[in-house]
Amino acid sequence: MTKFVKGNEAVVMGALYAGCELYFGYPITPASEIAHGAAKWFPMLGRTFVQAECETASVNMMFGAAGAGKLCMTATSGPGFSLMQEGLSYLAGAELPAVVVDVMRAGPGLGNVYPEQGDYNPAVKGGGHGNYQSFVLAPASAQEMCDYTIRAFKMAAKWRTPAIVLVDGLQGQMMESVALPDAEEPRPDFSSWAAQGEAKTRANLVKSIYLDAAQQEEFNIHLQEKYARMAADAEGTTYLADDAELLICGYGISSRIARTAAETLRAEGIKAGVFRPVTLNPFPRAQLAAAAKGRKIMTIELDAGQFADDIRLNLALAGLGEEATRVKMVHRMGGQVVTVDDAVRSAKEMLA
Amino acid sequence: MKIIEQKGMYKEFPRCGKPHARTTHYCPGCGHGIVNKLVAECCAEMGLQDRTIFVDPVGCGVFTYYYWDAAHISAAHGRASAAATGAARARPDAVTIAYQGDGDLGAIGFNNAFQAASRGEKFGCIFINNSLYGMTGGQMAPTTLEGEKTTTTPFGRDPALTGHPLHVCEVFNQLQAPVYIARVSVADTKRIMQAREAIRRVFEIQRDHKGYALLEILAPCPTNFGMSPQKAAEFCMNEMEKEFPLGVVRDTEKGVAGVEPVKHPESQALAVKSVPRFPTCMELFATPDGTEAPPVEDDPAVPERRFKFAGYGGQGILSLGICVAEAARLEKRHTLWFPSYGPEQRGGSASCSVVVSGMPIGSPTVEHPDVLVCMNQPSYERFAKDVKPGGVIIVDATVPLAVEPPQGVKLYRVPAIKMAEDFGVPKAANTMMLAALRAFKATGLKDDSLETALCASFKKKPQLIEKNRELLRRAEEELKS
Ligand code: SF4
């Protein structure tokens, strides 16, 4: 079955196929269509939709539902995502699987509802308190907003950590064709740790508190080891990158602008290629390094340079310090989108 | 510290870090200790330990998971009612009990608790009121009495500066949904027996899934009152009860009324109707809803074409774009439609972009349209200069051409608004524009696809389908002549 739908609607479809049973959400532009779809489709499938009184409530309702062993989700945008940071820390601290979709808008503060990618750091680096990480996926099309939402649930369950689907307002509103899966995902069994209100889970305790410093440290080490293993599920893709002189890096919507920019440059005889991280955390460092070695590197992003900094960091950590110092960025902020013209012009300047 | 061996409690408390601990962390004479004992007893005596999910607070009650032998979820400060909402919704067969203190429920988490009560969530909330923040060192809580000295009201609580004590039961009693609201105390034996009954009642209501229950329990905090246990209990009875009278405020099942219920028509809620079997995702999304499309097919021979549609809100700009997108997906093209959104759409202008291609689409934004359709002056002036050489502009005849179109761009002035008025259907100006797109072969799409797409867009108003099909054809004839 193929549907022509908004990215935001594709998210709900993906969530349902993934076996998500509960949706908790508070309205916010430009993510509201996710709540609208959930309010309609969750009850139709016998699942639960709750409109929470605020984003703090949404994320803590997820804490309860995930703690009770069910797959659950919420969706929000900038200001709501900020309010959820404490809850994300608790979810990670209690090792609970849950999915948050952040349809990014321009900030800081109230900002506006147009697309930005300014939530990169809080999503990718763990915006709440403490040493935790979320699994972060960056779809670039309506199809991927469905597919990666499904993947987000799988990764959240596999790694017992929150998963974030990071998109922007433009992607949420954009309609494209989405081929739906042929089958629903099997429901995971969390009875070994969840508080399910059943005899077999009576001894289970869901918590993020370790009063003893030694125990808290031990738990932190356990988390860090888990996050290190999570790197096995990192993914990055390339386009026209094999012989590229210039590597354009971008995620989500920016990766599509990068794609058109690379094609435009190629048409003018300039060897440009694209590197696109599909997972932002774990970051596909090895794939980036393979594509970037010896190349000039340019990023396209809708923020002040949060992504470029992470590219530099990952290059440096991969031993490509030289390349790291050469990273240039084309960016816009405030709800403006980098144009292909901007990207092509900057690329030429870089190569001149 | 008193050693308690109690029904419903673990025999030893290794979760506290000491493998064979038998004492609780509560101070001597603390109300929590008594309530912990009562809650554990009721849960065990009623045979509910397997079914119970306790949602624990942050505050002095944080460690109930050391003691109560049942499953626990330890929530964030203030969020036990939100977490209990999640747990109760996730596990409707369970008995979910949130345990909260007066900072946790009365201050930081008040709205979460209040809204959960208002929704009638199916959990019981046991709320310990000891008139201050215990764990953090005796600061003022919303429940602190007037004149009461705390570490943040060293001269006594001054209502002129900090308001009056918050009466949680009375506030919650304004709500329709709760089935049980009561206030008890654990300051002496008689009161403890009454508290025990009330706690049983909370469990009963949850066991039978009757709805939301709130039980406020006045409890002494000798440590932060700075009193002996005996004096603290007396403070509870003599001072706190004056402000917070004991009693069952509401028990709808037992005829103790709360607010007079407002008569609502029978709920039409879909979720509560019993359905023999819910559909699968595949069944649900196989149901035609107008969004289905044939699978996309790659075709390198089909060039990419970018469209911009712009005008005033209400001129049908977005649906005109959707029509073209619909026609493209009927032809199995990669298709993308993107509207202006947010406050923009509430103001004057509306615009949308459509990209159609034989191959996967890169950038979704339309910087240089191949085709621009303009219904008003501002959008013409904003977008005309960006049209690609070799491109097409179709503009309503009412729009003055204050700027020249770029070199190599073909411009058609179409009296779309006037034609629609002449046909007696002023709302159909967008259909006139579709006719123009078809007449001037501007879309690269088949005439049939565009017509089918137009008809599909009126699926919800079938009486308009034939009318618009006719308008499309008549307009096209007129434009061609
Ligand atoms: S500080 Fe007060 S509320 Fe906390 S355990 Fe001690 S007596 Fe009880």
Q: Does the beta carbon of B120 lie under 8 angstroms from any beta carbon of chain A?
A: no
**Identity at A130, one-letter amino acid code:** G
Q: By mean pLDDT, which of B2-16, B204-218, B232-246, B347-361 is the weakest?
A: B2-16
In a domain? residue B2:
no
| Predicted pLDDT at B270 | 46
d(CA A156, CA A226): 12
CB interface of B with A, residues 433-452, below 8 Å? none
Contact: B341, A30; criterion CB under 8 Å? yes
Q: Which fold has domain A235-351?
A: Rossmann fold (3.40.50)
Does the Cβ of B33 fall within 6 Å of ligand 1?
Answer: no
In a domain? residue B4:
no
Q: What is the mean pLDDT of residues A77-94?
A: 97
Q: CB count, 10 Å around CB of B118?
A: 17
CA-closest candidate to residue A129, choices A154, A160, A93, A100: A93
pLDDT digits (tens, 9 = 90+) for B451-464: 999 998 888 888 88
CA-closest candidate to residue B185, choices B215, B159, B212: B215
Contact: B94, A1; criterion CB under 8 Å? no
Q: Is A307 helix (H, G, I), strand (E, B) or coil?
A: helix
Q: Which ligand 1 atom minimizes the distance to the CA of B31? A: 8
d(CA A44, CA B91): 19
| Predicted pLDDT at B263 | 64
Q: Which domain holds residue B79?
A: 14-251
Identify the DSSP state of A286. H
Contact: A2, B367; criterion CB under 8 Å? no
| Predicted pLDDT at B55 | 98
Contact: A65, B111; criterion CB under 8 Å? no
In a domain? residue B7:
no
Q: Is B292 helix (H, G, I), strand (E, B) or coil?
A: strand
Instruction: For residue B367, list chain A residues with Cβ-Cβ distance below 8 A.
Output: 339-341
Q: Which ligand 1 atom minimizes the distance to the CA of B26? A: 5
Q: Does the beta carbon of B308 lie under 8 angstroms from any beta carbon of chain A?
A: no
pLDDT digits (tens, 9 = 90+) for B96-125: 999 999 999 999 999 999 999 999 999 999
User: CA separation (Å) from B281 to A15, A223, B323, B471?
Assistant: 10, 35, 27, 39
Instruction: For residue B13, list chain A residues with Cβ-Cβ distance below 8 A.
Output: none
B418 Cβ contact partners less than 8 Å away, ≥ 6 residues apart = B397, B398
In a domain? residue B186:
yes
Place of tokens 């049983």: B200
Instruction: For residue A239, list chain B residues with Cβ-Cβ distance below 8 A.
Output: none
Place of tokens 């699994």: A135
The answer to whether residues B113 and B220 belong to one domain is yes
pLDDT digits (tens, 9 = 90+) for A239-275: 999 999 999 999 999 999 999 999 999 999 999 999 9
The CATH 3.40.50.970 portion of chain A extends over: 2-232
How long a stretch of residues is chain A? 352
**How far is the centre of ligand 1, averaged over its atoms, from the C-alpha of B133 (Å)?**
9
Distance from B157 to chain A by nearest Cα, in Å? Answer: 30
CA B286, B292, B293, B295 torsion-angle sign: negative
Instruction: For residue A45, list chain B residues with Cβ-Cβ distance below 8 A.
Output: 278-281, 284
Reading the block at residue A312, the tokens are 């530099």
pLDDT digits (tens, 9 = 90+) for B365-416: 999 999 999 999 999 999 999 999 999 999 999 999 989 999 999 999 999 9
Q: Is the pLDDT of residue B268 over 60?
A: no
CA-closest candidate to residue B76, choices A156, A211, A97, A94: A94
Q: Is A127 helix (H, G, I), strand (E, B) or coil?
A: coil
In a domain? residue B210:
yes
Q: Which ligand 1 atom minimizes the distance to the CA of B138? A: 1
| Predicted pLDDT at A34 | 96
Q: Which amino acid residue places its CA nearest to atom 8 of ligand 1?
A: B30
**How far is the centre of ligand 1, averaged over its atoms, from the C-alpha of B219 (Å)?**
9
**pLDDT band at residue B342, thresholds of 50, 70 and 90?**
low
Reading the block at residue B325, the tokens are 């997108």
Reading the block at residue B45, the tokens are 């005596």
pLDDT digits (tens, 9 = 90+) for B66-99: 999 999 999 999 999 999 999 999 999 999 999 9
Contact: B91, A113; criterion CB under 8 Å? no
- Output the average pLDDT for chain B: 92
pLDDT digits (tens, 9 = 90+) for A119-175: 999 999 999 999 999 999 999 999 999 999 999 999 999 999 999 999 999 999 999
The DSSP-derived string for B426-476 is GGGHHHHHHHHHHHTT-SSS-HHHHHHHHHHHTTTSGGGHHHHHHHHHHHH
> In sequence order, what E strands does B41-160 have?
52-56, 71-74, 95-101, 124-129, 132-133, 139-140
| Predicted pLDDT at B190 | 98
Chain B residue with CA closest to A184: the answer is B281
Q: Which ligand 1 atom minimizes the distance to the CA of B60? A: 4
pLDDT digits (tens, 9 = 90+) for A292-348: 999 999 999 999 999 999 999 999 999 999 999 999 999 999 999 999 999 999 999
In a domain? residue B171:
yes
Does the Cβ of B132 fall within 6 Å of ligand 1?
Answer: no
Return the residue in B89, B95, B97, B209 with the most chain A beta carbons within 10 A, the one to mutate for interface testing: B89
Q: What is the mean pLDDT of residues B332-351?
A: 78
| Predicted pLDDT at B461 | 86
Chain A residue with CA closest to B332: the answer is A177
**How far is the centre of ligand 1, averaged over its atoms, from the C-alpha of A330 (Å)?**
57
Reading the block at residue B22, the tokens are 């038998």
| Predicted pLDDT at B271 | 47
In a domain? residue B280:
no
Does the Cβ of B62 fall within 6 Å of ligand 1?
Answer: no
Do the Cβ atoms of B327 and B362 come closer than 8 Å?
A: no
Contact: A4, B62; criterion CB under 8 Å? no
| Predicted pLDDT at B3 | 55
Question: Which superfamily does A2-232 belong to?
Answer: Thiamin diphosphate (ThDP)-binding fold, Pyr/PP domains (3.40.50.970)
B461 Cβ contact partners less than 8 Å away, ≥ 6 residues apart = none
Q: Which ligand 1 atom minimizes the distance to the CA of B29? A: 7
Chain B residue with CA closest to A14: the answer is B281
In a domain? residue B196:
yes
- CB burial string B79-112: b at 16+ within 10 A, e below: bbbbbbbbbbbbbeebbbbbbbbbbbbbbebbbb
Does the Cβ of B224 fall within 6 Å of ligand 1?
Answer: yes
Do the Cβ atoms of B367 and B386 come closer than 8 Å?
A: yes
Instruction: Name the more confident of B2 and B63.
Output: B63
The answer to whether residues B350 and B231 belong to one domain is no
Instruction: For residue A68, list chain B residues with Cβ-Cβ distance below 8 A.
Output: 53, 73, 86-87, 90-91, 94
Distance from A281 to chain B by nearest Cα, in Å? Answer: 24
B360 Cβ contact partners less than 8 Å away, ≥ 6 residues apart = B298, B334
Strands B180-185 and B52-56: unpaired
The answer to whether residues B234 and B354 belong to one domain is no
Number of structural domains found in chain B = 2
Under the phi-then-psi rule, with left for phi > 0, alpha for psi from -120 to 50, and beta for the rest, what region is B464?
alpha
Q: Is the pLDDT of residue B343 over 60?
A: no
The answer to whether residues B27 and B151 belong to one domain is yes
| Predicted pLDDT at B266 | 58
List the CATH number of the domain containing B386.
3.40.920.10
**How far is the centre of ligand 1, averaged over its atoms, from the C-alpha of B28 (Å)?**
8
> Which of B193, B221, B251 marks a domain boundary?
B251
CA B321 to chain centre: 31
The answer to whether residues B228 and B302 belong to one domain is no
Q: Is the pLDDT of residue B316 over 60?
A: yes
**Identity at B100, one-letter amino acid code:** Q
The answer to whether residues B57 and B189 belong to one domain is yes
The answer to whether residues B202 and B328 belong to one domain is no
Question: What does pTM read for this prediction?
Answer: 0.92
Contact: B341, A2; criterion CB under 8 Å? no
Q: What is the mean pLDDT of residues B217-237?
A: 96
Contact: A197, B74; criterion CB under 8 Å? no
d(CA B375, CA A305): 39
**How far is the centre of ligand 1, averaged over its atoms, from the C-alpha of B124 (Å)?**
23
CB interface of A with B, residues 154-183, below 8 Å? 169-170, 173-177, 179-183
CA-closest candidate to residue A50, choices A34, A60, A39: A39
